[in-house]
């Protein structure tokens, strides 16, 4: 199976990259399943129903979230009627929405997509390890699903790595989001799970993690807020990770970074035809 995970979509710039590039990549790379983190898609804070629909229409099979999941209050309502929109599974019981979704792709195979949030330097949510264990046990790779993607939305590299090694051999891909900076540690772990500490941001990198530079610099230098944080509006780099899995096991056979457009050095998976 050919999987593509796309990192945090940041504002209009990121949305434009998704609308422009994703349909071409899905067709050109013959992608089976695409997962997009959309928690910053609406002006850098949360997601709206219309934006979620646009990302899905562009070719995403599921949209994951994070600590900004409910910054747009409408998400508290429409998440209940959109099963492909997935918030962190370790929110407290009673939180609207779901933390995992079993997505059926075009050929009938099923991909379990999970979203979990870390707790180091983040909100004090429920235990992400225990919550993930419950979902993995309920729908094990190779029996309940043909592939499994876990989006670990977390600040600390150590927490993401601990999560990856805890579930190595039981998921196809474990990928970090949240920091908006792509890391260079893509690898296949000893028991067959593909891993990347952070997929990076799909947004304008002439910025401070996607935000127009002036206000963050002002706050760092003067320690005083001067205005609102606004998403940077220049050309975006679409960032993510490409994974190919073994149809028999659901485990990874290849992994490569993806960086298309914008300011960053370009990267495409060498094991697929280039679109």
165 is catalytic: no
Count CA within 13 A, CB hemisphere, residue 31: 27
- Which residue, among 124, 119, 115, 110, has the nearest Cα to 97 in the 3D structure? 115
Q: Which of 68, 153, 180, 186 is catalytic?
A: 68
- What is the Cα–Cα distance from 205 to 113, expressed in whole angstroms? 27
Q: Which residues are catalytic?
A: 68
């Amino acid at each position: 199976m050919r999987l593509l995970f796309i990192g945090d979509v940041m504002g209009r710039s990121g949305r434009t990259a998704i609308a422009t590039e994703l349909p071409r990549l899905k067709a050109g790379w013959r992608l089976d399943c695409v997962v997009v983190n959309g928690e910053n898609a609406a002006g850098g804070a949360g997601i709206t129903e219309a934006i979620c629909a646009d990302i899905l229409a562009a070719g995403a099979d599921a949209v994951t979230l994070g600590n900004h999941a409910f910054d747009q209050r409408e998400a508290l309502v429409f998440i209940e009627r959109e099963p492909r929109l997935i918030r962190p599974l370790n929110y407290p019981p009673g939180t609207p929405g779901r933390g995992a979704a079993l997505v059926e792709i075009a050929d009938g195979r099923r991909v379990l997509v999970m979203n979990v949030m870390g707790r180091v330097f983040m909100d004090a949510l429920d235990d992400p390890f225990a919550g993930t264990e419950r979902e993995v046990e309920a729908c094990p790779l190779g029996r309940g699903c043909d592939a499994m993607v876990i989006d670990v939305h977390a600040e600390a590299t150590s927490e993401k790595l601990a999560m990856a090694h805890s579930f190595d051999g039981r998921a196809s891909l474990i990928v970090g989001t949240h920091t908006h900076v792509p890391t260079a540690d893509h690898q296949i772990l000893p028991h067959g799970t593909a891993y990347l500490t952070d997929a990076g941001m799909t947004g304008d990198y002439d910025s401070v993690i996607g935000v127009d530079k002036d206000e963050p610099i002002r706050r760092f230098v003067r320690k005083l807020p001067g205005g609102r944080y606004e998403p940077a509006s220049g050309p975006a780099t679409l960032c993510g990770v490409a994974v190919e899995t073994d149809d028999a096991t659901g485990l990874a056979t290849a992994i490569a970074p993806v960086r298309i457009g914008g300011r960053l050095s370009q990267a495409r998976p060498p094991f697929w035809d280039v679109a």
